[in-house]
Amino acid sequence: MIAPPFKYFACVAALVCAPAQAASAWYFSTIVQGLYMNYSGSTVRDHLIGTGLYVNGDYLEDSGFTFGYNQRAVLLKDTTKIIEHDIFAGVRLSQFSDRLAGQFTLRLDAHRIEDHNLTYLDRINVETARISFLNLGKTYYVDLGYARSNYVADMTTLDDMRVQQWTSTLGLAWGEREWLQARGYSIKHAASNRMIEMNSNRAGEFKWVHRFDLRDGRGAEHVEISTLAGKRIFAVDPDSSDVYSLSDMQRAAAAIALRWRIGAATHVLTMAGRQSYENLASGQTYSGRYIYLNVTTTW
């Protein structure tokens, strides 16, 4: 099943572009999100609807956590549907380095997903780890990430499958308001009767972020344009933690997102994009066009 493109904006963009947070030691936020995707060229899938709710807690810049729940439903051409329930938990730990003049952050996330297909139940367990470094001037960023996904079906004729993913990222500031980021994906899965022919794939993702000048404290905060090229299947997005559990090859993607501040503690993120896929069994190619919205409230 296709996961939403982002639960919230990339953490790198947030570090570079987000406004200063409240002065209290702890601050919390809630995120409510919605997604609609329409498929074109598919003889099986019609559209997707997703909703989610997440709670973040952060202690200064030292640590933080996220808990959330997301539900997605793919409606098929024959009016049946596939439903996925995703329970998410994550923690973040940061440490400043005087010697390197920057901040190291360790992020650990876990998903427990139930994917209710037409004829069986797939339980998907995902664990991820990422170590990152952002210099004090916020002019460059690097990270290394690892994700392990286990797909376990309740159908005895369908093999379990393990997927391993490595990612590496480089982000650079360009002037005072621009941020450029490139990320590489290397994904490998063990042979099984789910995916016999291909066991590894690679993709590259590129982002550009522009921050606006909020003179009156409200209005557009920043805009992001992102693209994806290569081959990616069973991927886990390190920034949004979305799990792309659909067993079709993702070959390209493009999106544009705009984040607005509509109040002192409320932000709205809107996104539109297109993703291209190939069904490896039939060779059919199709695409999905989506719109995405989330509202973040800090308290």
Query: What is the tally of structural domains in the chain?
Result: 1
C-alpha separations of 200 from 191, 196, 241, 246, 277 in Å: 10, 11, 20, 16, 16
3 in a structural domain: no
- When pLDDT is averaged across residues 15-19 and rounded to a whole number, the result is 41
Residue 168: pLDDT above 80?
A: yes
CATH number at residue 170: 2.40.160.40
- pLDDT for 24 equals 66
Structural domain harbouring 261: 11-298
- Letter for the amino acid at 70? N
- pLDDT for 198 equals 67
Q: Give residue-wise pLDDT tens across range 226-279.
A: 999 999 999 999 988 889 998 899 999 999 999 999 988 999 999 999 999 998
- When pLDDT is averaged across residues 166-181 and rounded to a whole number, the result is 96
Q: Predicted confidence band at 200 (pLDDT cuts at 50, 70, 90)?
A: confident
Q: Provide the β-strand partners of residue 203.
A: 185, 230
CA distance from start to end of the chain: 33
Q: Predicted confidence band at 2 (pLDDT cuts at 50, 70, 90)?
A: low
In which residue are the tokens 């500031």 written?
173
Instruction: Give CA–CA dist 248/46, Å, rounded.
Output: 15
Handedness of CA 60, 65, 69, 70 (dihedral sign): positive
Please give the residue that has the higher pLDDT: either 126 or 238: 126
225 in a structural domain: yes
- pLDDT for 91 equals 97
- pLDDT for 7 equals 44
Evaluate whether 95 touches 104 at the Cβ level (below 8 Å): yes
- When pLDDT is averaged across residues 221-226 and rounded to a whole number, the result is 97
213 in a structural domain: yes
2 in a structural domain: no
pTM above 0.85, yes or no: yes
Q: Give residue-wise pLDDT tens across range 93-122.
A: 999 999 999 999 999 999 999 999 888 999
231 in a structural domain: yes
- When pLDDT is averaged across residues 198-223 and rounded to a whole number, the result is 90
* CA atoms lying within 13 Å on the CB side of residue 210: 7
Q: Give the Cβ contact number of residue 14 at 10 Å.
A: 14
In which residue are the tokens 């972020």 written?
209
274 in a structural domain: yes
Q: Give residue-wise pLDDT tens across range 46-85.
A: 999 999 999 999 998 889 999 999 999 999 999 899 999 9
5 in a structural domain: no
- pLDDT for 19 equals 42
Tokens coding 150: 């286990």
1 in a structural domain: no
Average pLDDT, the chain: 89
In which residue are the tokens 């609609």 written?
36
